[in-house]
Amino acid sequence: MKSNSHSYTHRTEMTRRRFMKFGLAGAGLLLASRLVPRALAGTASPTPAWTSSGKAKSIIQIWLSGGPSHIDMFDPKPNAGRDYCGPYGKPIATNVSGIEIGQMFPQLAKIADRYAILRGMTHGNNGHETAAYMVQAGHKPGGTLVYPGIGAVVAYFKGQHGVYKGTLPPYITVTRPQGRVSECGFLGAKYRPFSTGGDPNHDPFAVEGIVAENVSTERQHERKAELEALDSFGKENKKDDLVEELEANRKLAYNMILGDASKTFTLSDEKAETRDRYGRTTFGQSCLLARRLVAQGVPFVTINNGGWDTHKMNFEAMNNKLPELDKAVAALLLDLEAHGLLDSTIVWVSGEFGRTPKIDWDEPWEGGRGHYGKAFSALVAGGGFRGGKVVGKTDEHGENVVERRIYPWDLLGSMYALMGIDSQSQIPVPEGGTVFVSPLASNEVPASETGGILKEIM
């Protein structure tokens, strides 16, 4: 008899849970699980030990997926000759005496006092996935743990346990995930970024799960009312824990769809001249969206910009990519400054590595550049980083770092410090126990493989 009763209770519970998961009343929960990371949905996890305040509130990461050439961009070598410079042998002076950058960056040259160039970046890894993991997570590949990327770490500290209480998710990627690495690592799916999808250069910008091109706001309100009218199960079980969680998540989801949060994605509210300054391209409008997101307090935004893996015909690709990057990044820095946001927002421009300094002119490469992890460059600005500076130096061909080596964990440790996240902070792992945020805190990397945080520009 006990067995039958237990079986009946178990079947009833399973039926109820299946209804909650798949039934009409569960639609809001499923929607919320797509839009709202569990970090903002009330799930419990250990409170991290950190108390630093930090100067920065947000990070905008402009991820140049595939790895851009440092020589073509921020570390020109005009005396190296055609086999290294190709057609880009005429770097241009910036508004900071003594600093030159690539000739395809006339807009950025005018505002070099707003950013710092890191010419000493290095890790020596030439694989896309492993190099991306090192730059994103700040840990070496290998071992049993897959460490979370910096975006997930920031979401963990600033989202659930920190000062960010906004409706929008704490970690957003525009317009798609990075793909080569697990952004959330062992922190799990609740710290996976919300990816907008769509194209911000289109009006309307169809953000996946939030903005439907052919569904009006009025129709969304009608759908919400119809769902509430049909939800007799929810009305009868208001005090059930699962129903309460469902309702809380559904309110968050609808606030994103119908509330003020959704207006952040309405780029048509911006003046035409503002949108033109960024460039009427997917990348340009993604940078404009990033400014709007950090204005709402979103702690971490990644703009995933691909097309930098130029094994073939590097310069044909760069003739299109570099002017677009120049225009949008310069507009972003100036716009953040105009809105009073640059001091509290770190802008970080980098790929997973650089490209071979020596050009391969032979067929089938036709002027291509390969993968190169020994030396590459990054740009950082705002959030406590001082502009008008160059940190690190490569040799006359851009092949080796000869002054101030900067490893990924050095850069990430610097950004964590500016965000008020102590490198001694620890994060719980699924198997039990904790790990340090930074490998520098655990002596995971030898002293010979760190130059320390970027005190020169902090």
Task: Please say whether the beta carbons of 318 and 310 come within 8 A.
Answer: yes
* pLDDT tens digit sequence for 287-344: 999 999 999 999 999 999 999 999 999 999 999 999 999 999 999 999 999 999 999 9
pLDDT for 73:
98
Cα distance between residue 127 and residue 135, in whole Å: 12
* Three-state secondary structure call for residue 173: strand
Sign of CA dihedral 262, 263, 268, 271: negative
Residues in the chain, how many? Answer: 458
pLDDT for 3:
41
Residue carrying structure tokens 């002119």: 361
State how far the alpha carbon of 171 is from the alpha carbons of 21, 104, 121, 392, in Å.
25, 31, 25, 30
Cα distance between residue 57 and residue 420, in whole Å: 9
Task: Please say whether the beta carbons of 111 and 334 come within 8 A.
Answer: yes
Task: Please say whether the beta carbons of 184 and 192 come within 8 A.
Answer: yes
Task: Please state the three-class secondary structure of 382-451 as a single string.
Answer: ECCECCCEEECEECCCCCCEEECCECHHHHHHHHHHHCCCCCCCEEECCCCCEEECCCCCCCCCCHHHCC
Confidence of residue 284 (pLDDT cuts 50, 70, 90): very high
Task: Please say whether the beta carbons of 107 and 438 come within 8 A.
Answer: no
pLDDT exceeds 50 at position 48:
no
One-letter amino acid for residue 54 of the chain: G
Point out the least confidently predicted range of 184-188, 376-380, 396-400: 184-188
* pLDDT tens digit sequence for 161-174: 678 888 899 999 99
pLDDT for 222:
56
Q: Which two tokens stand for residue 90?
A: 């005429």
pLDDT for 172:
95
CA 319, distance to chain mean position in Å, is 25
Cα distance between residue 108 and residue 435, in whole Å: 39
pLDDT exceeds 70 at position 226:
no
Confidence of residue 30 (pLDDT cuts 50, 70, 90): very low
Confidence of residue 96 (pLDDT cuts 50, 70, 90): very high
pLDDT for 178:
77
Beta strands 115-121; 376-381: pairing state? antiparallel
Q: How many other CB atoms sit within 10 Å of the CB of residue 176?
A: 16
Beta strands 171-174; 194-195: pairing state? parallel
pLDDT for 64:
97
Confidence of residue 234 (pLDDT cuts 50, 70, 90): low
Q: What percent of the chain has pLDDT over 70?
A: 78
The widest CA-to-CA distance across the chain, in whole angstroms, is: 90
Q: How many other CB atoms sit within 10 Å of the CB of residue 364?
A: 9
Average pLDDT over residues 346-370: 96
Average pLDDT over residues 110-126: 98
Cα distance between residue 231 and residue 377, in whole Å: 55
Q: How many other CB atoms sit within 10 Å of the CB of residue 422?
A: 19
Task: Please say whether the beta carbons of 122 and 376 come within 8 A.
Answer: yes
State how far the alpha carbon of 74 is from the alpha carbons of 1, 100, 279, in Å.
77, 8, 21
pLDDT exceeds 50 at position 233:
yes
Cα distance between residue 124 and residue 408, in whole Å: 11
Which helix (H) or strand (E) element contains residue 15? helix 2-22
Cα distance between residue 58 and residue 95, in whole Å: 27
Confidence of residue 373 (pLDDT cuts 50, 70, 90): very high
pLDDT for 236:
73
Confidence of residue 235 (pLDDT cuts 50, 70, 90): low
* pLDDT tens digit sequence for 432-446: 899 999 888 888 888
Sequence-separated (6 or more) residues with CB below 8 Å from residue 273: none
pLDDT for 237:
73
Task: Please say whether the beta carbons of 169 and 193 come within 8 A.
Answer: yes
pLDDT for 7:
40
Average pLDDT over residues 397-411: 97
Cα distance between residue 54 and residue 200, in whole Å: 31
Burial code (b: 16+ CB inside 10 Å, e: under 16) for 203-241 equals eebbbebbbeeeeeeeebeeeeeebeeebebbeebeeee
pLDDT exceeds 80 at position 95:
yes
Beta strands 426-428; 434-436: pairing state? antiparallel
Which range has the top average pLDDT, 32-41, 142-151, 275-284? 275-284
Of 160 and 95, more confident: 95
Q: How many other CB atoms sit within 10 Å of the CB of residue 149?
A: 30
Which helix (H) or strand (E) element contains residue 54? none
| Whole-number average pLDDT of the chain | 85
What residue ranges define each of the domains in the chain, with the CATH number in brackets?
51-205+272-457 (3.40.720), 207-265 (no CATH)
